[in-house]
Amino acid sequence: MPPPTVPGIVPVVAGERDMRGKSLLIMAFGQSNADVHNAGPRLEAPPLEDPRLVVPDDGHGFRGLMGQAPKGPITGFEPFAPHERRVMSLTAAAGARVLHEMGPEAPARVILRSGAKGGRRLLGLRQGAREVDGLLSTCSGDLSPLFEAFLRVTSEVCDAAMRDGPEVGAIAFLFAHGESERQMVRAEYAARLGGMMDVTADVLAPLGLPMHWHLVQAAGPGAEGAGNAWPNRLALADVATARGDATLAAAGYPWPLEDGVHYSAEGKALLGEALGRSIAAQLSGQPRTLPHPVAAVAEGARLLLDFAGEGPLALDHAPASGRHGFEMARGEVTGVRVDGRRVEVTLAEPASGPEGLSYAWSSWAKGTRLPAIPGAALGGGGLRSAEGVASILLPGRKIYDWVPGFSL
């Protein structure tokens, strides 16, 4: 069955898009973790020196405008390597991984840019007499200048690539958001995000390009926070399931943090590689789906969960809440066992059903989970693919498919 279409979107499907001799635009959007936070320095890794990684020549590098006025027009592109060596780039890590994954089928170049702005909700917010624009809209409900700039720059990059050559053959949007949007209910967040994608598709339809959104489920804070049981984290799966132009590409919790919210340089590298794998698979017509539960039943004090995906799962000894990230709202989880793609969760008492079971979805009174685990997001989990691929940026490290947080 072909993927569902959205007005203005040309779905990227098998055999439809040959990226050889074309440019790929990787455009990030969201909050500071969408490649504007200044964690660094950049890793010393040969793939990041690849001359096929480029940035627009308007003086804003890969981090973009960040809510400021442009310094000048985009007339062409410059090599990424000389820019911002003090800061590690998520989009560069993703681009390097795309080039590695696609090999001889890779695009001729990868254009890197972010349109993100730190600390912004989707909707505008009034703080006393001050009005703070959201990513999507202002307080009055108009399109936010941040969103308008994101759309304008995306179009300008494609126009410049058409003049400069090689032209853009596809756009990969990376969306990382949620830390500032902890209260919006799940259905509203999904609807607002879907609406933002629809506007993007309509405005950029004249480009005639395939566009796909690769979504990052927010990690949640370190131990000084109050958990990551935020509705927006679950809404991303709803959006990805409902649309043909979006993929839940990565769970955010496994990757190292620099502080209680932002990824470190190492975290950006590993998350970026995970996103690059998602982009490459989509462009190749073989989109990847992260493992996620598709069936759950209770048998006495055991909950049996079956997961979609390919290959067996495994438990990792990553920092996590509860038993490898599993918690029961009205009961105690005493053990977790994995057999292939089936997970058995043992409870202290029999349960009438799986309702109330959560994974990598946790809340607690602020400060009660101290001491913090350096570099880790609490509220994470330990369930991932058994097999991983070697990192091209951090020798000895592997990139796994981690199960996104969920709540039954």
**Cβ count near 185 (within 10 Å):** 11
150 Ramachandran zone, left/alpha/beta (phi>0; psi -120 to 50): alpha
* Among 165, 164, 163, 168, residue whose Cα is nearest residue 113: 168
Give tens-digit pLDDT for 105-129: 999 999 999 999 998 999 988 888 8
> In degrees rounded to 5, what are phi and psi of residue 217?
-75, 120
Predicted confidence band of residue 276 (pLDDT cuts 50, 70, 90)? very high
**Cβ count near 68 (within 10 Å):** 10
> In degrees rounded to 5, what are phi and psi of residue 271?
-65, -40
Give tens-digit pLDDT for 28-82: 999 999 999 999 999 999 999 999 999 999 999 999 998 899 999 999 999 999 9
User: Which value, in Å, is the radius of gyration of the alpha carbons in the chain?
Assistant: 21
DSSP state of 232: H
Give 381-408 as a 3 state SS string. CCEEECCCEECCCCCCCEECCECCCEEC
Question: Treating both helix axes as pointing N-terminal to C-terminal, what angle do 186-204 and 145-164 enclose, rounded to 10 degrees?
Answer: 40
In the predicted structure, residue 256 carries a pLDDT above the cut 50: yes
Cα distance between residue 94 and residue 344, in whole Å: 34
Domains of the chain in sequence order: 23-283 (3.40.50.1110), 292-407 (no CATH)
CA angle 224, 261, 25 (to 5 degrees): 170
User: Tokens representing 16?
Assistant: 């439809």
In the sheet that 326-328 helps form, which strands lie side by side, from edge to edge?
326-328, 357-359, 406-407
Of the chain, the percentage scoring pLDDT greater than 70 comes to: 93
Cα distance between residue 197 and residue 215, in whole Å: 12
pTM of the full structure? 0.93
Q: What residue type is assigned to position 205 of the chain?
A: A
β strands within 190-258, DSSP E: 211-217, 246-251
